[in-house]
Amino acid sequence: MKTKRILFGVLLSIGLFAASCSSDDNDGETIVPIQGKYNLSQTGTIIDGKEVLIDAPQNEAGCSRDYLDLRLSNAAVIGDYKGSDCALTETTGTYARSHNDLTISVGNVSSTSDIMNLTNKELKLKDKTTGIITVYTR
């Protein structure tokens, strides 16, 4: 009788575990919040089916890295360090996320990118028009 109870308990546990895992389907969309400040790390493209990334040439040598700050208010702040004095210029616009698309609008110019990867440490975007890949890290 004890063996049947133990077996029943094990089977019930396996069943509950399997059911909880199968309900985690999110259609390939990440559930990590997109809000946060990301430092520009790499840029690149896909050549012959392979991703080719280099250190972002937009980052000024000797300065902090340029950044993208996506705020809870849906404001997008782009930080750009330039010159020998590393002067910071911030440009503010808005952003909208729809599933795995991110649209950033500054003034009357908008760009939409596929969110290729979003984790607690990385945001990787691929511009839908140009195909340019941009990698940001936290």
Segment 60-119, tens digit of pLDDT: 999 999 999 999 999 999 999 999 999 999 999 999 999 899 999 999 999 999 999 999
Residue 28 pLDDT level (bands cut at 50, 70, 90): low
User: What average pLDDT is seen over the chain?
Assistant: 85
Cα–Cα dist 63/87, whole Å? 9
In this prediction, residue 32 carries a pLDDT of: 80
CA dist 113 → 5, 43, 61, 62 (Å): 54, 13, 27, 29
Residue 30 pLDDT level (bands cut at 50, 70, 90): low
Phi, psi of 13 (to 5 degrees): -65, -45
